[in-house]
Chains A and B, each alone.
Chain A
Amino acid sequence: MQRRQFNKALAAAGIVSLSSPLNMARAQAQKLRVGVILPRSGYLSFIGQSCQKGADLAPGVVKEMLGVEIELMNADFESNVDTARTRAERLIQEGANVLVGPFDSGAAAAIAQVAEQRGVPFVINIAAAPQITEQGYKFVFRNFQTAGDIVRNGLALIGDLLQATSTVPRSAVFMHVNDTFGQAMAKGIGAFMPKMTQLPFKLVDTISYDPAAKDLTVEVSKAKASNADFLLLVCRLNDAILLRREMVKQRWNPMGIVSPGSPGMYEEQYFKALGKLSENSISNVPWYNPNANLTKVVEKAFLKQNPKDRLVFHGLNVGFTFEALLIAADAFRRAKSTDPRTLADAIRQTSITDKMTLGGPIKFSEKGQVEGIGSACVQNRNLVPTVVLPATAATAKPIFPVPEYKKA
């Protein structure tokens, strides 16, 4: 062997010896490290903590279901988009194989950029802004409805609600949070309302407000002055509580409050903070199927970890967060590797039929989006979020118009 050939062979051997231990380690990985990014503090904290319950129970349930070990690396993004970006960076640096989260469209968009740049799969639990899966990303996956889907399903359910209750409101005032999610929903409503000819009402005013608002006096005064028949609301949790209280103070009793698809009014904290005032608020949202086999398994684990809680108050958050982790674990089981590209390919091939949430099986489109997730009309009844539509999943009949708050 000549000196030059020897040098080439040595260099090649060096490259192989440097890269192979890493590949071996990846190929033989026994555990999937999942970076879970949620807003456990800040104005989204209640929902972030609710989602965290779904993440916390996942390792045990997934181990039992799939025989796969997952290790959670939890990060709090403090309801701040910039913090979400830095937390994602740090989780990847610390060795997260997959990212899961974040219950917020703004944060999801920021984390998606990081995940794509670093080539680490990111499974979104809850976030609806359509643009997140419209960027041609290869490592970003979402098992949640887009704002367009939420609005379309939500408005269709309003039509069903009005039909079921034989009510014909002529006008609605639309109030929405002024953040990425709220704007996406507003855009969706603007696009779909004209097409939904079965809806008998018109929007007489649109009022946007700061999601971290501490006072909604002006907003509610304006809405009340519109004399609309009912309030169409896209909210978060804290603002929903603030808004409901302000409606009572200003003695505004419209036919009802209906969300075409947003968090807030079915959350446990909404009931705790408002008591009887929480009654009859309606949310048309992606929901969980209480009769599904997986729900029963998850509920058992949930009650074991949270003996004082009830799944019904966390069903949506726990359901979609758990499913995001299930998707990652299922892909890891099939891929038998933590190599990001292999893992992303495996996620793309996902087909999970035994699921907790309403709708068809979990299958990702080319864009990384799950299609066909179902919605339900959930009305607060006797201090519990109760499915009232569609009739096949309903456990009570809808009430609309709702009684005035004093009679509630």
Chain B
Amino acid sequence: MPPELVLNVVIAGVLTGLVYGLMALGLSVIFGVVRVVNFAHGEMMTIAMYAAAALFAALKLDPFLAVLPVAAAFFVLGYAMQAGLINPFITRPEHSQFMLLVAVAIILVNALLIVFGPDARNVQLDYQLESYELGKLLLDKARVYAAGLAVVAAVLLFLFFRFTLTGKAIRACADNYLGAKVVGLNVKRLYALTFGLGSACVAVAGCAMVLLVDVTPGLGPYYTLLAFVIVIVGGLGSMGGALLGGVLIGVSEAAAGLFIAPSAKSMFSFGLLILVLLLRPQGLLGKRA
């Protein structure tokens, strides 16, 4: 097998994996702080993809420029969802939270079907059909841009949690819920802020993903499952783990397609999931409970 073929496929896997990673990062951040598993995560990403596609159709707005309004809208949506809908469920049993978010997911899919119908929507820009040529390597431009956006968004999120007071307060809530309340932090507001940030992450990933994939309402459950696979492989609650998990899934799917059979790609990522669950249940970068 020619080495440039292997390298091309691996690089494509890394680039797609970074976008997957950003999507999963939102899920990981929300779980890491709020301790609620967002079963509507993929559906939210699908809505972001539709939003980017609709902005492109109406205003010819490049999805990279649509990132700002879509992410801002998703931040508000996420904040409102946590403050109005999820906060009352924080102290309830896990199965109640699970059912709540599954119900939200089903409503979102059906709302998309009602509004947009079952047909696929996409964005068509000239650079989506172009590639960078590096010797024998061909790098898909849209994929490079999407991965770059994912990295920038992940770095900004990391800096926010690391260096801002609000970020530190959110981390304090994640580390010790009771302690955070005792020192006077407004935990519910910080939870809402976290859910807003996680949603904004998903929005950015959606804007990037719409350049690579046509969007249909049925994509939601697929992305929810994919996000779960990634965060479990990378470590639930770990930001670096989500990105690493995304890249690993992207590369392993690409390599499986190349070396085994293209139709076995998904099977391979689930195989990786089982392997991680067996050998390192907390995930590659997760902390042992």
Contacts and interface: CB of A to CB of B under 8 A. Distances in A.
A146 B165 CA distance: 68
A245 interface: yes
Contact of B262 (A40, A210, A225, A248): A210
Given A178-B263, A251-B138, 6 more contacts: A210-B263, A216-B262, A217-B140, A221-B5, A225-B2, A249-B138
Question: By CB atoms of chain B within 10 A, which of A42, A210, A218, A277 has the most?
Answer: A218
B216 to A, nearest CB: 8
A238 interface: yes
B128 A222 contact: no
Interface string A193-211: 0000000000000011110
A218 B130 contact: no
Contact of B258 (A208, A222, A249, A251): A222
B9 A250 contact: no
Interface of A: 40-43, 45-46, 178, 207-210, 213-219, 221-222, 225, 238, 241-242, 245, 248-251, 273, 277
A225 B140 contact: no
Contacts of A43: 216, 218
Given A42-B118, A210-B266, A249-B129, A218 B254 contact: yes
B38 interface: no
Contact of A251 (B131, B257, B263): B131
Interface residues of B, number: 34
B262 A208 contact: yes
15 contacts: A42-B118, A42-B216, A43-B216, A43-B218, A178-B263, A208-B261, A209-B262, A214-B214, A221-B9, A221-B258, A222-B257, A222-B258, A238-B120, A248-B129, A249-B130
B212 A215 contact: yes
A273 B129 CA distance: 13
Interface in B102-125: 113, 117-120, 122, 124
Interface string B3-32: 001001100100010000000000000000
Contacts of A207: 262
Nearest to A227: B2
A245 B262 CA distance: 18
Contacts of A41: 113, 117-118, 218
Contact of A217 (B12, B117, B128): B12
Nearest to B118: A41
Nearest to A224: B5
Contacts of A219: 257, 262
Nearest to A76: B118
Closest 5 CB pairs of A and B: A41-B118, A218-B257, A178-B263, A217-B12, A225-B5
Given A45-B119, A208-B261, A250-B138, A218 B218 contact: no
Interface in B207-263: 212-214, 216, 218-219, 254, 257-258, 261-263
A225 B1 contact: yes
A277 B258 CA distance: 26
B265 interface: yes
A221 B119 CA distance: 28
Nearest to B223: A214
Contacts of A45: 118-120
